[in-house]
Amino acid sequence: MPTPSFRVTDELYDRIIEAAQGREMPVSAFIRSAVEHILDNPDTMSDIENSQIYKDLQTQLTQKDAQIDQLHQLVAMAQSNQADTLKQLEDAKTQRLRRWWKFWG
């Protein structure tokens, strides 16, 4: 009987061990059962892939929402700075006009 071998992350390994222990199965029997289940039910693999895609898209959406919030804050700050600058320019213009009228008045 062939003995396949594959590498997994530490997190996935821990999940496999935990799931096998929860079913009171040896790890090899659990993995064999999981692979057989996917081979016997090909639609399940599609569900798993779609689930992962959904998780990835959800993560990206959350990141984009945070970026949009930051952009809104930057736009608000820019508008506030622009309003302050315009007020300063108007004040400077008014002071110049007063000086001009004082000079001639």
Range of the domain at 32: 8-40
- For 23, which DSSP code? T
Cα separation, 11 vs 13, in Å, equals: 5
Question: Does 72 share its domain with 57?
Answer: yes
Q: Taking residues 47-69, what's their average pLDDT?
A: 86
Total domains in the chain come to 2
pLDDT greater than 70 at residue 105:
no
Instruction: Print burial letters for 60-82: b (CB count within 10 Å at least 16), e (below 16).
Output: eeeeeeeeeeeeeeeeeeeeeee
Question: Does 71 share its domain with 102?
Answer: yes
Residue 2 resides in a domain: no
Residue 93 resides in a domain: yes
pLDDT tens for 19-56 read 999 999 999 999 999 888 888 887 766 666 677 788 88
